[in-house]
Structure 1
């Protein structure tokens, strides 16, 4: 009799445990799905925030690139004289959203800054390389 009672109690605990594990697995799966959805939403929101920060930088770089290609190096230096102020506003938005691409973007931006710094007189090759070195990664970042 005592064995039956112990056996019944043991079976009941086993069933309750199995139900609990099933519920726990379902909760873990639901939490995983919610986390993935939140990450996707954050990524989409981040991408939406990137374009308004990146596009003015790209526009300025492309304007400077046009000046260099037209042989107007002085015009490119004048155009990109405004890069520092624009970059100081854009970089804090871009950095957290760029992920592992940030290091190369920041290095390219610093190259543009040093190449077109006040009083700088870059040659055509250096100017062109600095500009295209940042246009590439920024364009890729926003999918252009």
Structure 2
């Protein structure tokens, strides 16, 4: 029995035999009674503001084109953001974090006051703070 409609009475509607046969087979596919199938169909048409005389094709095609245009617009916005914001920011960050090569300082310095030939000619430069 149809839930919510148990106490309602039946009424008759006249259909052509071929239409009634087609509707009954559709009701079986929907796994609902004839009354509930007809009610679902009417609710569908009313909820979607459709008429059986109108074609659904162009409206779906129109929606598809609208969605494609919106997606294209979003892609254009993202590309513009990448060009104007992301790439310059990445370039600045890379230039900031690039390794700065240390200055080449001489490790060995020649002694200027050599009086004896047997002494070492080169020694490491020492900082004045680190001298003993």
Aligning the two structures, in what range does the TM-score lie when normalised by the shorter sequence?
A: 0.3 to 0.5
TM-score normalised per structure 2: 0.39
TM-score (norm 1): 0.36
Q: Which has the higher contact order (CA 8 A, sep 6+)?
A: 1
